[in-house]
Chains A and B, each alone.
Chain A
């Protein structure tokens, strides 16, 4: 790992700097580029929303950032540490960046209690609940779960409660950056609101920088300071959340906004589809 983020113009490193990142799957004729020349900057302590439809490459970007997918060209700089195609990222640095996965049913081991899940984050080698009991209970209470949840198994929780445990697990080691990958898409509307409010509150308390990935414009607008729109592996538009939502410049962004039922541009009986115009 070479720490070479010595840009003179930015004395304080950004939380995340993505520089002309290209990622591809497969080799030879089957090679498919998933991300093409993506550049993105997340300043410290801000929340960036990444919007895109299925297949846009937004989850791939998350996997690249946490080191699960190799970089083809370009680089990512996380908290001052630079990773590019030549970096071998064998060991992950948990304190640097954490990911809250999408599916609360798959992200918790069905055979381990909530306490064991959090203990594993606090102390990966031993995962001992007894030694860290107070700390774990404190974290459960921080995500608004009763301390008695510590000995319960995942199947005893609802989807929203599981997602809270996943949030506690990702945040308890106080990472510099956290990526939330579609964390509300499996939840009921009212539960979504609760989880988002909790995340916003914790972000303030823990001085987090955040990349919030979602296909849901409403959710992104609610939690993001800045927004980037991704389509077919390219950034179509990025800017402040207010700017993107009130005055979109890109035609695709406009189509996205107009497609939300109830939006001013949405007309259910319109003969011509605006979605096809944009394609």
Chain B
């Protein structure tokens, strides 16, 4: 096998990098096993079966692993046994996978009630230990290689029925399956054409892992005498032959043991390697770029606190004249992803205290990345650098206190349903900052929260905190999030598309709440949206981003009047005007 691994040419190195270390190790090992299975009986068959007078010998150059009581070379036997072991294990695995997946997919042909019954019965079969089932089947069929293979293969079927039926379930409700039905494709054809191919990858992974289990089960059956019979031999049989002499000649069991471990390990490595490749998240982890990093530009000196407030960048003119202090200041923010591609390119902006700044752009413009970085949350897998990020008085490029940042900056996310932990009550989640970082007691915090709920005219303010997230609508959850910003007297609220998931009437409510929170707190708001109508009605000032750059900056009035200069902003405005439900709307009063 060493011949297969070396020499490591540059080509094989790139293959390794593409496949990942686990998969390439597994594939190399398994290729070696297959090669052995093919060639070993030719070269070592004689040594492995010839009876000689050199009995029970120890390790020697002539017999690397010694000989057994009939004088057969044990090294040769271990190598030759690979063929039968590999064949039987592959056959048994194939029985489990092919029968299991076929049945598992075909149950979706059945009416719902029949399917539930069948799957229920199958679950009972899964609960029954596979090896015991295999023992029963092997005992009925009588000892022998064929019966052991069928026994282990059949014992593995229920698990694959269950897996494939369950994995087909989410595919069955996908739109492309119902669309196929509307197009008049028969159910069987839909299963073959759409469901089966989408099961392919996970099934391949599971089959590889199942191969390792099947290997131990088959070897187990051979070991206890129900599997392969003399004079045939697989690894299990070799182990059984060596066992009586385990104390006097332990070398006898080493060969088959090592081969078992190598073959099982090869299958496991392939399975895990495939799984890692199919999941982008795991793939990212192997490259060891786990967390986002925020660094200071090498060529810019650390600014002192006095510089922050006194020196708004010259590129930001709209607020250079404003007397109000700056709440958020970002200078020369660059963000690149793991492969070095630029996602945000030299973005600089300020948000004055009490100002609502809109950040507009289409998907992929880098607006969310910019805002999250400004909150000190650099997403996984990207690198950010800037010459200055000062958020609510904290220099994010230097050491910051997470507690103070959590208190001063409040975040409202796009999807209220996934923002909250469904297992915890709203109140305890919203008061986390005030309890953990501001040292309030649970009762104090809850009372304060109810007070804020009342302030925002949320119905039943006292009970609301005791509810679980699923008991509230999306709009209520977003309003509750805003209430928690009020609770900590946040200096900056960063809202990432907070109304995109909401109905239009609810959106109006939430927007009013933002305006009110900003007014009553004097807090600044960084409001990310793709909806020009929303931004125009809420924001004092708007920044338009495209492909990671700020293309234009407008005041709210300029935007309402349609006085944009940059062609991209103009095209956005045109698209919005094209889709304006309110144009020419003459309302009867």
Q: Interface on A for B, CB 8 Å cutoff?
A: 53-54, 66, 68, 91-94, 98-99, 101-103, 106-112, 117, 120-121, 124-125, 127, 159, 166, 169, 173, 188-190, 192-193, 196, 215-222, 245-247, 255-266, 268-270, 273-276, 278
Contact = CB atoms under 8 A, between A and B. Distances in A.
B526 to A, nearest CB: 17
Nearest to A279: B505
Given A112-B193, A124-B189, A276-B509, 19 more contacts: A53-B504, A68-B182, A99-B179, A109-B198, A117-B176, A124-B180, A125-B186, A169-B179, A188-B530, A189-B532, A192-B575, A217-B504, A219-B579, A220-B581, A246-B584, A259-B505, A261-B531, A262-B536, A274-B508
A134 B349 CA distance: 52
A258 B515 CA distance: 17
B182 A94 contact: yes
Contacts of A127: 185, 193
Contacts of A218: 579-581
B189 A125 contact: yes
Nearest to A191: B362
Given A121-B183, A193-B578, A266 B508 contact: yes
A264 B582 contact: yes
Contacts of A263: 581-582, 585
Nearest to B171: A109
Contact of B581 (A125, A193, A257): A257
Contacts of A196: 579
A268 B519 CA distance: 12
Contacts of A121: 183
Contacts of B193: 109, 112, 120, 127
A219 B184 CA distance: 30
Pick the 9 closest A-B CB pairs, nearest first.
Answer: A53-B503, A259-B508, A107-B175, A261-B537, A188-B362, A261-B533, A218-B581, A218-B579, A101-B175
A120 B183 CA distance: 8
12 contacts: A91-B184, A99-B179, A109-B194, A111-B198, A112-B193, A166-B179, A173-B183, A215-B503, A257-B585, A261-B534, A262-B580, A270-B512
Interface string B546-589: 00000000000000100000000001100110111110111110
Nearest to A91: B184
B551 to A, nearest CB: 14
A275 B587 contact: no
> Contact residue range for chain B?
35 or more
A265 B511 CA distance: 14
Given A111-B198, A246-B586, A189 B579 contact: yes
B528 to A, nearest CB: 14
Contact of A269 (B176, B515, B581, B585): B515
A90 B503 CA distance: 35
Binding site secondary structure of chain A: loop
A240 B578 CA distance: 19
Given A92-B181, A92-B184, A108-B176, A256 B504 contact: yes
B458 to A, nearest CB: 11
A88 B571 CA distance: 50
B229 interface: no
A96 to B, nearest CB: 10
B62 interface: no
B575 A221 contact: no
A101 B582 contact: no
B579 A268 contact: no
A275 B502 CA distance: 14
A102 B509 CA distance: 26
Interface string B188-223: 010001100110100000000000000000000000
B538 interface: yes
B106 interface: no
Residue among B508, B537, B572 with most chain A CB within 10 A: B508
B581 A109 contact: no
A257 to B, nearest CB: 7
Nearest to B587: A264
Contact of A268 (B189, B511, B580): B511
Given A266-B508, A268-B538, A217 B581 contact: yes
Nearest to A117: B176
B166 interface: no
Contacts of B571: 190
Contact of B504 (A120, A215, A247, A264): A215
Given A246-B585, A264-B585, A268-B515, A189 B179 contact: no
B262 interface: no
B179 to A, nearest CB: 6
A255 B186 CA distance: 45
Given A169-B179, A245-B585, A264-B582, A94 B575 contact: no
B537 A120 contact: no
Contacts of A68: 178, 181-182
A248 to B, nearest CB: 9
A261 B511 contact: yes
